[in-house]
Chain A
Amino acid sequence: MIKNAKFVVGIVLIVGAIGYLIASAVKSTSEYYLTVNEVQGRLSELQDETFRVAGRVEPGTISWDAQTLTLAFAITSLPKEAAKATAPSDPVSFRVISRGEPKPDMFAANRDVIVEGRFGRGGVIEASQVLTKCPSKYIPEHGEKQVSDAAAR
């Protein structure tokens, strides 16, 4: 066991180095991951921060320019969260603009998306990334409601 003691030093050093790597990487790379309502609640903190926000694409707000690859839409609370809000004031939503990125395949009105970006001028979120969820199951929009109802059970 005595000889093993000198190995304890090496082990502690390696474990310490890994721990340090993790801690410093967390410090330098972490960002808020918020819902639309939480963003509303932390507006002042977020002014110069890159953050992620999860929400739903508001119907009727999408504009897509294929020439410049500019996608603009509004992101709004997920129904789950909207129902939770006690004060039914104005529904919370933010305008999002993404430049120079192709429109994700799964992107559409009423889809759940995660936007990574920061606030630009006029309170618009300048997105560096728009991620769509990739569900393995499709809940069809209309016409096949029976299937989706059954599937939701």
Chain B
Amino acid sequence: MPLLGELALALALMLALYAIGASVYGARRSAPQFVASARHALWAMFVLTTIAVAALLNALVSSDFTLEYVAAYSSVTLPLGYKLAALWGGQQGSLLLWTWLLTLFAAIVALQNRRRNSQIAPYVFAVLAGVAVFFLGMLNFITPPFQELAVPASRGTDLNPLLQNYWMAIHPPSLYTGYVSATVPFAFASAALITGRLDDSWIRTTRRWALFSWFFLTLGNLFGARWAYEVLGWGGYWAWDPVENAALMPWLVMTAYLHSVMIQERKDMLKVWNLALVGMAFGLTIFGTFITRSGVISSVHSFTQSGLGPYFVAFLVTAAVFYVGLLLFRLPTLRTPAEFESYLSREAAFLFNNLVLVGIAFAVFWGTLFPLLSEAVRGVKITVGPPFFNQVVGPLALALMFLMGVGPLIAWRRATASKLVSCFASPAIVGVAVGLALVWMGLRQWYVLAAFSLAAFVLATVAVEFHRGVGARRHLVAESRPRALANLVAKNNRRYGGYIVHVGVILAFAGIVGSSFFKTGVQRVFKQGQTVTVGSYQLKFLGLKGTETPEVEAEYARFSLSQDGRSLGEIAPARLFYPVSRQPASKVALRSTPVNDLYVVLAAADDQAQTATVEIFLTPLVFWLWAGGLVMALGTVVAVWPDVRERAAIAAMLRSDEAIAGEPAAGGK
């Protein structure tokens, strides 16, 4: 089986090289049979990488310790689910998963564009195959997943206990899916630049892909934060670690892109900017892998420091030169006559939202690379920690919230004063009222007041939009309110899906602000029977209890929990010990409500004295971060749902494309 996997990867690399040649040749010489064969090569690549993945999974499940990878990331006692998840537990497997996703998406693109986009499709195939060549090259020559051990190991070293958690099953695949799917818009943008077909057809074709990528980047970041929250036991969920930043940056740029694209579709402006954003998003996904894999920047996550760095840098530089070169070459044809007319316009709001989003991405990039830069310039490593990121991103997030309220409602081109008042008067009143109410309740931090006021303002604008839409529908057709609402969203899913995403962002933002400003913690050494009161909760220590299985030894500290005298049952944070890898880990006890989260960590347990040293955090509103994330995901699903008009437009595009392809000698240039 391992040999089969190795062989499949070698063949896939050859096919990828062939696909580049065949598609480019086919496009230049108007030889559709070559383009067709490149398409088939992409499908075959997917089959081959699937075989490689299956071979590695098989080795993991059957505990084949002749393989270095299996010995390093698995063990006989590892539960089946984690054996499968060990596929992305280490570097080689992660890159294999990456490559598999890339070939999967390439195969889908090849399928979708059998007849569509016949002008640019060959170059799309070529770029996708080109990216695949890099990853397959790595898997074949630099970091082979099927490396055998000189002496087979008797047992494996086990998967890191911190990874033995159900989030392991969903966080890395989500993030990778988000990362890798960003390649598709990049391939289309590159192809549009190569062929000079720079109308917005490439944007319309990749809108879903961009949203798909954004959806999974959102979930990937969210799951990662949740994982850190549940497993690492420090009561927080985000530490501005380089690896986290690497996942955040493409998300920010992709968010900017999803907005600025609307300006191009509507006003034919910002073409260069959109192309640049797509290129940046792709570059940042590769940069992210580079950071996680190279160990160049010291991170708490620094996975194995490996020699992959230079290859990633080389690939990144090649891709950047290629793309920027194309962009400069096409610059003269990308100039547009359209212009911004007024600061009080939707175009302007979107432009500024883009600047702020890219500004945040740049600040995160700068802070992440700062140790490297300072070492290069001043000869000494200087680092900036979480305070840097909070100081910079905090105010920019407020600006973003404000623009999020203004952008969707303000008129295109130029808003008149009366229109502004009619749109924003009630939301502004709501925002101010919420702010005043909070002051009256005793809140004094200006940031918190501004944040919650803006959040209320944005929610009110969305409510106004929904209310107005429902009213308009009911004016035209006799419908009940819920029915009108459902039809409104169904008929304009893109727009209202976007609003739902905004509501999610606001909820998540409120969760972040609440948990950042109002988190409290206490630390106690408990003897049996002792109690402590935290907020409205009372905890009483009942004693320690140990359990043992071959995979894990656990010591639980049992507490009875009650709230305002009402019993809520028992909670038991634990210290775990994994004998195979000789690693301790902790298991957090969590009680989550919309008001606050009670988070109990067993820092140490003393068997002799029967005492437990416990940290207890009370984190207000953090619930809304996760809830908001789910609302964002839901909104994205609504926004990508196929709608009737779009389907008709695509069908029309397809027909015209076929008409062009049908003409003799039209496929040439």
Interface positions of A (Cβ within 8 A of B): 1, 3-4, 7, 10-11, 14-15, 18, 21-22, 24-26, 28-34, 38, 52, 54, 64, 66-69, 100, 102-103, 105-106, 114, 116, 131-138, 140-141, 144, 146-148, 150-151
Contacts and interface: CB of A to CB of B under 8 A. Distances in A.
Contacts, number: 179
B300 A29 contact: no
B384 A133 contact: no
B300 A133 contact: yes
Given A1-B339, A133-B302, A25 B384 contact: yes
Q: A14, A33, A106 — which one has the most chain B CB atoms within 10 A of its CB? A: A33
18 contacts: A7-B348, A11-B351, A14-B355, A22-B362, A25-B392, A30-B383, A31-B385, A33-B381, A52-B383, A67-B611, A69-B603, A102-B603, A103-B603, A146-B153, A147-B149, A147-B153, A150-B150, A151-B71
Interface of B: 68, 71-73, 89-91, 149-151, 153, 155-158, 160-163, 233, 298, 300-304, 339-341, 343, 348, 351-352, 355-356, 359, 362-363, 366-367, 370-371, 374, 380-385, 387-388, 391-392, 395-396, 523, 525, 581-586, 601, 603-606, 609, 611, 613, 615
Contacts of A15: 355, 359
Contacts of B303: 135-137
Contacts of A69: 523, 603-604, 613
A14 B383 contact: no
Given A14-B356, A33-B382, A135-B302, A3 B339 contact: yes
Nearest to B371: A33
A105 B584 contact: yes
A112 to B, nearest CB: 9
A31 B582 CA distance: 34
B388 A29 contact: yes
A141 B355 CA distance: 50
A7 B340 contact: yes
Contacts of A64: 604
A145 to B, nearest CB: 10
A21 B392 contact: yes
B396 A138 contact: no
B340 A32 contact: no
A68 B584 CA distance: 20
Contacts of B161: 105
B352 A66 contact: no
Given A4-B340, A10-B352, A137-B160, A26 B304 contact: no
Contacts of A34: 380-381
Contacts of A150: 68, 71, 149-151, 153
Contact of A32 (B343, B362, B363, B382): B382
Given A3-B339, A28-B391, A67-B525, A136 B382 contact: no
Contacts of B525: 66-68
Closest 7 CB pairs of A and B: A102-B603, A66-B604, A33-B383, A18-B359, A25-B391, A33-B381, A29-B388
Contacts of A31: 382-385
B388 A25 contact: yes
Contact of B363 (A18, A116, A140, A144): A18
Q: B341, B385, B605 — which one has the most chain A CB atoms within 10 A of its CB? A: B385
Nearest to B151: A146
Contacts of B362: 18, 22
Contacts of B585: 105
B583 A102 contact: no
Contacts of B613: 66-67, 69, 102
A78 B329 CA distance: 49
Contact of A102 (B233, B351, B367, B387): B233
B72 A151 contact: yes
Given A7-B351, A33-B381, 15 more contacts: A3-B339, A10-B352, A26-B384, A30-B370, A33-B383, A66-B606, A100-B523, A105-B586, A134-B162, A136-B89, A137-B73, A138-B72, A138-B157, A140-B581, A141-B582
Given A18-B396, A137-B303, A144 B380 contact: no
Nearest to A67: B525
A72 to B, nearest CB: 15
B301 A134 contact: yes
A54 B298 contact: yes
Q: B68, B90, B391 — which one has the most chain A CB atoms within 10 A of its CB? A: B391
A66 B526 CA distance: 11
Contact of A106 (B156, B363, B583): B583
Contacts of A151: 68, 71-72
Contact of B603 (A33, A66, A135, A146): A66
Nearest to A114: B298
A106 to B, nearest CB: 7
